C-alpha cells in the first residue's frame, strides 16, 4: 500500500458510463464505481451491473480474487462449480478463488446487482 494520502471520492452513478467487459454478452453492462481506475482505491473493485433478459457472463474462474454478488432486483441463474442457483432480490453470493462461475439473466426484467471484488487484480 502507498504511504501517500489518498483522495476521498463522492459521485453520482449517472456520471459513469456503462461498459460491457470482455466475456460479457447481450447487454451485460457494468459501471465501475470504485476501483484503481476510478479512484485511489488499491484494493477494491466495486461495480453495479445490469443484465438485460438473456444477457450473461461466460464461465470463468479467478485465481486469487474473491467476489460478492448482491442482487438488487430481477432474477437470474448463478452457476457455481456446475451447481445452478436461482438468484433474486436480496440474495447474496460469496465466490471464493478457484470456483468456476457464470451468471445468466433468465428472468423477464433487468437483473441488477452489485459486484464487490478484492483484490483488484487477479494475480
Q: What is the mean pLDDT of each run of 10 residues along the chain (123 residues)?
A: 81 95 97 94 95 98 98 98 98 98 98 97 90
Q: Which spans in 11-120 are helix H?
A: none
Q: Helix/strand/coil (H, E, C) string of 61-91?
A: CCCCCEEEEEEEECEEEEEECCEEEEEECCC
pLDDT at 2: 56
pLDDT in the model for residue 83 = 98
For residue 31, the surrounding DSSP H or E stretch is strand 28-34
Alpha-carbon distance values, 9 to 43, 47, 59, 86 (Å):
15, 15, 33, 35
What does the pLDDT read at residue 1?
54
What's 32-118's CATH class? mainly beta
**111 half-sphere exposure, CB direction, 13 A CA radius:** 29
Amino acid at each position: 500500500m502507498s504511504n501517500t494520502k489518498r483522495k476521498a471520492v463522492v459521485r453520482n452513478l449517472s456520471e459513469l458510463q456503462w461498459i460491457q467487459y470482455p466475456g460479457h454478452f447481450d447487454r451485460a453492462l457494468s459501471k465501475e464505481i470504485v476501483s484503481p481506475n476510478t479512484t485511489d482505491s488499491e484494493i477494491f473493485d466495486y461495480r453495479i451491473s445490469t443484465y438485460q433478459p438473456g444477457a450473461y457472463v461466460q464461465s470463468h474462474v479467478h485465481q486469487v480474487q474473491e467476489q460478492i454478488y448482491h442482487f438488487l432486483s430481477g432474477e437470474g441463474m448463478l452457476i457455481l462449480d456446475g451447481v445452478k442457483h436461482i438468484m433474486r432480490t436480496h440474495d447474496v453470493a460469496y465466490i471464493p478463488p478457484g470456483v468456476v462461475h457464470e451468471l445468466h439473466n433468465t428472468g423477464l426484467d433487468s437483473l441488477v446487482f452489485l459486484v464487490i471484488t478484492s483484490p483488484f487484480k487477479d494475480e
